[in-house]
Every structure is written in C-alpha cells, then in structure tokens.
Amino acid sequence: MAVRKGHTHDRRILVLHGPNLNLLGEREPEIYGRVTLHQIDAELRRLGEELGAAVDTFQSNSEGALVDRIQAARGQYQALVINPAAYTHTSVAIRDAIQMLGIPVVEVHLSNVYRREPFRHHSTIADVVDGRIMGFGPNSYYLALRAAAALAGARGEEQ
C-alpha cells in the first residue's frame, strides 16, 4: 500500500528492542550480522512511510523500561513489534504487559532461536502475540513491520 504525499498516518506502530541490541553490528556478527540498530530503525521508519504508518522505536537494556513503554502504548499505537532479546526467555512482566495491551503484537528475532541453545527455544510471550518472525536477520524486523501494519489495518477495518 503506497502512501499519498501529504497523507497523514492513520496508524502508529511501536517497535521495541530489548537488551544488548544497541550493540548490533559489533556483538557476535556471525549470529547477528553487521547492520547496526540505528540502520534498522532508519529502515523501519522509511518502510513505515511506505506502509502509511508512523514508526517509533525504542531500545532498552532494562526490563522495567520496556514494560513502561508497552503500558504507555495503550491508546497511542495500533500495533507493536517487539524483540525482547534475552527477556524472551524469562520475562513474565513483559508477557503480562503485552497480554493487557489489546493491539496486534508481532514478536521478532534476528536469528532462528531454534538453531541455537536449547534455553532460547522457549518464549514467554509466544502464546500472547499474534505472530513470530525469526531467522532472517534485519529482514525479520521489516517482515514483522509489514505484518503488524497489515494486522493493524485489518483490526481498524473491523471497528
């Protein structure tokens, strides 16, 4: 869906990045690649424009800060894309916040967690999100944004 010039965004999508993702491009490039989080965020905003959605991004190493942002998203955003990173496997607090959110949520991971250590195979949020995309490097985020925009659009048409 192309956006007409001067078209106001009818959708706002929040993208949250969990711990250590601020080190993308430097940290374990054999797993996560060389693209930086800044580059991913810039492409997400550009793609959002193409999809007719304003995209806001936020990264934190703090579980509480991520929960605060999820809670603050209520009534402000039409969809959430989240890479909880290490909190994927441990955070009941993030799970509870997502469960109360009431908008489409897409879980995203750069790597295919099932090709990694067994402890990474469990996601505390998998059963409370609309979908999961993983294993495509930075493209995982772009696919997740497209899915979130489509879900937000479908939800908007139902209301």
Rounded to whole angstroms, the Cα distance separating 124 from 130 reads: 14
Residue 15 φ/ψ, nearest 5 degrees: -115, 120
The catalytic residue among 17, 32, 141, 142 is 32
- 3-state DSSP assignment of residue 11: strand
Q: Which of 17, 77, 87, 109 is catalytic?
A: 109
Nearest to 118 by CA among 138, 94, 89, 145: 89
Q: What CA–CA distance (Å, rounded) separates 135 from 77? A: 26
Q: Is 141 a catalytic residue?
A: no
Burial of 68-97, coded b for 16+ CB within 10 Å and e otherwise, reads ebbeebeeebbbbbbbbbebbbebeebbbb
Q: How many residues does the chain have?
A: 159
Active site residue 32: yes
Catalytic machinery residues: 32, 109
